[in-house]
């Protein structure tokens, strides 16, 4: 009797574990690289030290001023704003509690560093809070606004999940690799019915 009872208990636990695990499964997101890979460079600078004891909660995507910035995934614009530190920035909300931040967007008039450009030189035409975007869609332009002023132009890119920033580096590297593969996606020559690879 006891043995049968223990067997039933073991079976119940074995059956319950996968159910518990799936209930706590974490969502993931696949990103489209948010800038032209041919002109963008980045390293894993997540949590690098910054002034005032702050830590760097994103990765910097270095690129020339006015390089196009693309939506990293399908989503909705939930914020367009400006602050002393971030400069001009945009936040997209995606499915399942994911968000991406695009910070230090351009605020300079062409050929200047005046910080007085119209927002038409910051955001893609017609983009505003509530706009729906698809992955890879133009959303804005690289700049050096906010505390990036005087440094090299870049997009400070953040990836948030359920309200907390995560290191976006692995997601960005995967996106980078897919973008480069797509650039190089020339079908291999077919010889005698076989692909030569």
Using alpha carbons, select from 26, 28, 37 the residue that is nearest to residue 175. 37
Contact residues for Zn ion, defined by CB under 5 A: 60, 156
- The least distance separating Zn ion from the CB of residue 41, rounded to whole angstroms, comes to 13
- The label of the residue with tokens 């996968």 reads 18
Nearer to Zn ion, 150 or 187 (CB): 150
User: How does DSSP classify residue 6?
Assistant: H
Shortest separation between residue 109's beta carbon and Zn ion, angstroms: 23
Residue whose CB is less far from Zn ion, 75 or 146: 146
What would the two tokens of residue 123 be?
Answer: 């955001």
Nearer to Zn ion, 88 or 156 (CB): 156
Look-up: residue for tokens 């319950």? 16
> What's the min distance (Å) between Cβ of 90 and Zn ion?
15
Phi, psi torsion values for 20, nearest 5 degrees: -65, -45
Q: How far apart are CA 100 and CA 93, in angstroms?
A: 7
The smaller minimum CB distance to Zn ion, of residues 62 and 71, is found at 62
Q: How far is the CB of 58 from Zn ion (least distance, A)?
A: 5
């Amino acid at each position: 009797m006891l043995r049968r009872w223990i067997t039933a208990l073991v079976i119940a636990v074995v059956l319950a574990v996968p159910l518990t695990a799936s209930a706590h499964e974490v969502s993931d997101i696949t990103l489209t690289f948010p800038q032209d890979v041919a002109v963008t460079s980045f390293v894993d600078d997540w949590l690098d030290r910054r002034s005032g004891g702050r830590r760097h909660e994103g990765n910097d995507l270095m690129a020339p001023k006015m390089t196009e910035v693309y939506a990293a995934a399908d989503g909705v614009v939930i914020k367009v704003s400006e602050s002393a530190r971030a400069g001009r920035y945009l936040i997209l909300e995606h499915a399942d509690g994911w968000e991406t931040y695009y910070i230090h967007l351009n605020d300079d008039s062409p050929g200047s560093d005046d910080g007085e450009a119209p927002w038409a030189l910051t955001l893609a035409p017609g983009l505003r809070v509530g706009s729906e975007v698809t992955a890879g869609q133009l959303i804005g332009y690289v700049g050096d606004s906010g505390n990036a002023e005087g440094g090299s132009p870049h997009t400070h890119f953040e990836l948030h999940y359920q309200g907390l920033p995560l290191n976006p580096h692995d997601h960005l590297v995967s996106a980078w690799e897919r973008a480069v593969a797509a650039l190089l996606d020339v079908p291999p020559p077919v010889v005698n019915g076989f692909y030569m690879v």
